[in-house]
Structure 1
C-alpha cells in the first residue's frame, strides 16, 4: 500500500497491494458493488484538522470547542440526522432481578425505560447481566438482532414483543419472537466469557425504538417526538438506535452495581454503525467497539470498494444522505472523522477477511486517517502504518483487527475487545482521558 500526504493532512490513497486477497476472492452473488482493487481508485479525504473556513486546528482546545462540534453538526445534517434531546421525564422500572442468575455467576436485571415517563408512551426493554463479585462493573451496551431472549437460553428472560427481523432466524415467526428463539444468538454474546472477565452486558432490541426495516417509521418512536420525516436532516434509524444507547447509559449511571465511567458502546454490522455514532455524540461512553460496521460506520465512503451509498438502506439515514449516492466525494465528511469524534477515548475497529462488502482496507485507512486527531489530543493513535495480516490485532488506542472468516461477531472478536478494555479502562487511564 502506498500512501502519501498532500499539504498538512489531506490524504491521497493509491492501493498497490493491500486488499489483494480481496481482489482474488469472488464476491457472493447478489452483492452490488465494486470488488476489484484495480478499480477502487484513489481518493482525497477531508482533513479532520482543518475547519470548514480553512483554519487549521492547532490545539486540543480548538478541537473540542470548534472543530468537534462542527463535525458533529455536519454528520447530523448530511448522514445520520438530528436526534431530539434526552427526554426530561424518563422513568425506569426494574421488572426482574435475580442475583443468582447463570449458575450464580451473575445478577440479571430486566428494566423498562419509559422514555416520556408514561407507561402508554415509548419504552425500551433492557436486559442486563452483571458479574457477581465485582463491586462496580464496566458494561458493554449494544443492540441485539433477534430480541433479548435470543442472546442466552436463560428461561427467565422476557421474550421481546416488538417487531424483529426474521432473517436466518427460524425462531422468529412473522417478525415476532417465539420460545424457539431462546439462545439462538448466544454465540454473538458469550456471556460466560464476558462475565468471567469482570464485565457486564446491557442489550435491547431495535424494534423498541425503530423496527429494522423499510416503511416502519410509523411504528418507531418518531411520532412521539413530533419530528418531520420530510426534513432533509430527519433522524434515521441509526441515529434512533444510537440515541437509545444513550438512554441505556442514563439508566446504568444510576445503578450502583455499574461503573458509570467505564461503559462501552458496542455493535456488530448495522449496530456497529450505531455504536460509532453513539460514541461520537455521547462522550460519556468510555470506549467504542465497531465490529464489521462497513459503510455508514468505519468504512471510507470515498473508496470505491464494496458497499456504497447507492445500495444502502434508505431508512438508516437522514433523507439528505442518499442524495450523495454516486457522488461520495461531495460529502463534507468521511468515516475517518466519525472515528476521530471518539478521540481521545479508545476505539476498536474490527473487520473480517471474507467481508468484502465492508471493505477491510477501507476501514483500516479510515482508522489510519483518524490518527492525527488522536495524536493532537495526546495519545498514540493507531500506531501502525501498514495493513496487518488477518488475526494479528493492533491494540493501540485505535484498535484494529482482521479476523479470518465471514461477516460475524465471534468469540475471537470478544477476546480482543475484553483484552483491549482491560488495557485502556483502568481507573488512571480513564481519568486521563476524561480530563
Structure 2
C-alpha cells in the first residue's frame, strides 16, 4: 500500500526500470494491471472485416463527401456496425481524426474537416446518451460483447476497441482512402476523453490524443479523487464503464497496484494533451498534476518529454467554446507539422508546483529556530510569520455573483425552507450564509470548512446523498457560513502565488486567519452581506471541518477562544508518528505535497522532534466541546495513533471528561449523510447543555 502513485518506472516487485528492455516488460505489466483492475480484457483475436457497404453518401458544396459505411466482421454471428467517414476536398493525403459523435463534439469534426482532416465518427456514443442522427451508436457495443462471452471487457474499453476496428477499415488500401497513417488523432470530452485515452493506450497506430476533462480514472488518479476531495471515486462511475470490482476500492484507493496514470505509460511516447479547467467538477487540479508529473517521467525516460502536454483553461467542465475547438485543432496541426499551423504557444504552467528547497533558501537561520516557549508559541511558530498587511486577492466583485455560484453549483442541492445570502469579510474573502428564514430568535452559527476539494471549494460534488452539509444544517435551524479556503475553488490561483507573496508565512496560517476574520464578521460585523443578516447567537459559534477543514478547524479553535466548539471529521493523525513508511505517506503531504505548513519539512525523517502535536492542540481547545470523528479505515490516518492521542488527552482532562467526544465508526474516510447526522446529533446536545 502506498499513498503516492505507484512509480511507473518501477516494477511491482520494487526493481527499477533501467533499460529499454526493462521498459517493455514494465509496460506489459502495467497493461496487465490496467486490464485486471480497470477495464477487463480484450478478445485474443481481432475479427477481420468480411463485408462493407455504403449506406448513404452526401456531397457538400465545399467539395467534401460524407459517407455512412456498414462494416461486417468475421465473428460467430457476423456482427456489424455503422460509421460515418467525412472526406475532405482535395487529393493530398489527409490526417485522420477519430471522434465519438455526441452532439457537443460535432464542432471538432466540422473544424477538422475544414482543415483537411479525414474525420471518422465511430459508434462510441455512451449508453446514457442517444443521438438521433447516429442510431445505435450507443448500444452496438453490446452486439460485440455478446460475440465474446468469455471476455470481461467493459463499456468504455469495448467502444475504444471499436475505434480501432474503424481504423482497420480506413487504413486498408483496398478501400481507397488517401490518408496519412502516421498522423492519426482521437479526441473526446469527459467520458469520451476517458474512452479516447483507452483507445490510444491500446492502439499504437493512434499517434496523438486530446482528452478534454476526462476525470477519473483517466487524467485523475483515484488516489487523489477520494471522498476527501469531493471528486469522482471508484464508487461513482455509472453503468458498466469499468469493472464492477473497481468500486470496492472506494476508501482504499491506495491499495490499487496501478492507478490511472498508467494510461500515460501505455500511450508514451506518442503525443497526448490533457485539456482541463481550473474549476472542473470532474477534475481536481492537484490530482491532474500528480498523474501528469508521474506520466512525464516515462516520456522523459523515452526521450520525448515534449510529447505530453497539460493545458489549463478558466471556468468549469463545460462548455466547449469555439475558442476551445480552435485551440484543440491548433494543437493537432502543431504536432502533425501541418503547413497551415499557426504555431500556438502551449506553455506549461503548473498550479501545485511547490519547491520546498527553494522556499527554505529564502529563510534565515533565525526563521528556522524553534522557540523554547509553551506549546502555543511553538504552534504559532510552525504557522510562519503573519505579515502586517495582506494583499487583496483581486476578486472581480465584493460578493459572489450569479455566474460564479452557477459555476460552483452553490444552489444545486437547495432544499426547502433555506436561503443563501452572499457575504464578504476579511481580506476580500467571499462566501455564503445559509439559513432557515423561519427560525425564531437568535440561532447558533456553524462555520463550514471544506476538505481537499481544489476544484469545487466548499461545495460538495460527487457522493452527495440528498443534499449538502450546509443546506442540511441550515434546514435544521442553524446558520452556516461557507467559503472557499485559500487555494481552493474560486481562490485556486490565489494559492498558487501565495509563497511568492508571503515566503515566511504558511497557507495553513492564512486559512486559520480567514477563520478568525469570519468570527470577526459574525461577532463584530466587520464585513458585508448582500441583504439582511439572520439573527445569530454570537455565544454559539462552532467550526465544522472535514479532512483539511477538520485540521484547520482544530488549529483555529485552539488559537481563538471566541470559538465555542469544534467538530473535526478525519481531520488529523498525530504528527510525530506519521512517517514516510506509513500508508498515509507521512507529514510530507502537509509540508510539501499540499504546501500547507512548510516549516514542518525541517523535521522530515526526524518527526519525533516536531515541537508540538495534536494533543497540545486538543488541550488548548479544552474545556470547550470538541468532536473528533476518526473512522477505523481512514487511509489518511493511523487509527491506533489517534486512539492513543485522544486517550492521553482524556487522562489529562479527567475533570472535564465530557469536553471531548470521540466517534470511531467502522467506516472509511467520507463525509456524507451519516456523518452529517453525527454532527447534528452532537451539536444539538452541545447547544442544549450550554
Quick check: TM above 0.5? yes
Mapping of residues 146-225 of structure 1, within 5 Å: 185=103, 188-206=106-124, 211-212=127-128, 219-225=142-148
Mapping of residues 332-347 of structure 1, within 5 Å: 332-347=257-272
Distance 1:241 1:350, change over 3 A: same
Distance in 2 (CA, whole Å) between partners of 1:188 and 1:211 is 18
8 A Cα contact 1:206 1:212, kept in partner:
no
Residue 235 of structure 1: aligned partner = 153
Deviation of 1:188 after TM superposition, in Å, equals 4.0
8 A Cα contact 1:273 1:297, kept in partner:
yes
SS where residue 198 of structure 1 aligns?
coil
Residue 142 of structure 1: aligned partner = 99
8 A Cα contact 2:124 2:163, kept in partner:
no
Distance 1:204 1:325, change over 3 A: same
Deviation of 1:109 after TM superposition, in Å, equals 1.9
8 A Cα contact 1:352 1:403, kept in partner:
yes
Distance in 2 (CA, whole Å) between partners of 1:66 and 1:262 is 27
Residue 323 of structure 2: aligned partner = 412
Residue 25 of structure 1: aligned partner = none
Mapping of residues 257-276 of structure 1, within 5 Å: 257-276=178-197
1:398 pairs with one of 309, 328, 344: 309
SS where residue 104 of structure 1 aligns?
coil
Deviation of 1:347 after TM superposition, in Å, equals 0.2
Greater CA radius of gyration, 1 or 2? 2
**1:112 and 2:70 aligned:** yes
Distance 1:369 1:406, change over 3 A: same
Deviation of 1:334 after TM superposition, in Å, equals 1.5
8 A Cα contact 2:105 2:188, kept in partner:
no
Distance 1:98 1:222, change over 3 A: closer
8 A Cα contact 1:340 1:371, kept in partner:
no
**1:311 and 2:229 aligned:** no
Distance 1:114 1:409, change over 3 A: farther
Give TM-score, length-normalised by structure 1.
Answer: 0.68
1:132 pairs with one of 60, 81, 89: 89
Distance 1:91 1:258, change over 3 A: farther
Question: What is the alpha-carbon root mean square deviation over aligned residues?
Answer: 2.8
SS where residue 266 of structure 1 aligns?
strand
Deviation of 1:192 after TM superposition, in Å, equals 4.0
Residue 76 of structure 1: aligned partner = 35
Give TM-score, length-normalised by structure 2.
Answer: 0.44
Unaligned runs of 5+ in 2: 130-138, 339-690
Distance 1:46 1:128, change over 3 A: same
1:100 pairs with one of 59, 68, 72: 59
Distance 1:308 1:264, change over 3 A: same
Deviation of 1:401 after TM superposition, in Å, equals 2.8
Residue 163 of structure 1: aligned partner = none
Distance in 1 (CA, whole Å) between partners of 2:32 and 2:127 is 25
8 A Cα contact 2:57 2:68, kept in partner:
no
Distance 1:69 1:134, change over 3 A: farther
Distance in 1 (CA, whole Å) between partners of 2:84 and 2:278 is 32
8 A Cα contact 1:355 1:406, kept in partner:
yes
**1:288 and 2:245 aligned:** no
SS where residue 308 of structure 1 aligns?
coil
Distance in 1 (CA, whole Å) between partners of 2:108 and 2:295 is 30
Distance 1:75 1:399, change over 3 A: same
Residue 13 of structure 2: aligned partner = 53
Structure 1 residues 270-325: Cα deviation after superposition (integer angstroms, max 9, x where no partner) = 12111111111111111111111101221121013211111222411123222212
Distance 1:421 1:111, change over 3 A: same
Question: In terms of mean alpha carbon deviation, does 86-95 or 342-351 score higher?
Answer: 86-95
SS where residue 331 of structure 2 aligns?
helix
SS where residue 209 of structure 2 aligns?
strand
Residue 349 of structure 1: aligned partner = 274
8 A Cα contact 1:96 1:108, kept in partner:
no
Distance 1:201 1:60, change over 3 A: same
Residue 50 of structure 2: aligned partner = 91
Structure 1 residues 104-135: Cα deviation after superposition (integer angstroms, max 9, x where no partner) = 241212211212368x6422211111221252
Residue 609 of structure 2: aligned partner = none
Distance in 2 (CA, whole Å) between partners of 1:326 and 1:357 is 18
SS where residue 407 of structure 1 aligns?
coil
Deviation of 1:69 after TM superposition, in Å, equals 0.8
8 A Cα contact 2:275 2:311, kept in partner:
yes
8 A Cα contact 2:75 2:147, kept in partner:
no
Distance in 1 (CA, whole Å) between partners of 2:92 and 2:140 is 41
Distance 1:361 1:105, change over 3 A: farther
Unaligned runs of 5+ in 1: 1-9, 13-42, 146-184, 229-233, 382-395, 428-435
SS where residue 235 of structure 2 aligns?
helix
**1:250 and 2:168 aligned:** yes
Deviation of 1:70 after TM superposition, in Å, equals 0.7
Distance 1:375 1:143, change over 3 A: same
8 A Cα contact 2:108 2:329, kept in partner:
no
SS where residue 54 of structure 2 aligns?
strand
Deviation of 1:78 after TM superposition, in Å, equals 0.5
Deviation of 1:96 after TM superposition, in Å, equals 4.7
8 A Cα contact 1:397 1:424, kept in partner:
no
Deviation of 1:329 after TM superposition, in Å, equals 0.5
**1:361 and 2:286 aligned:** yes
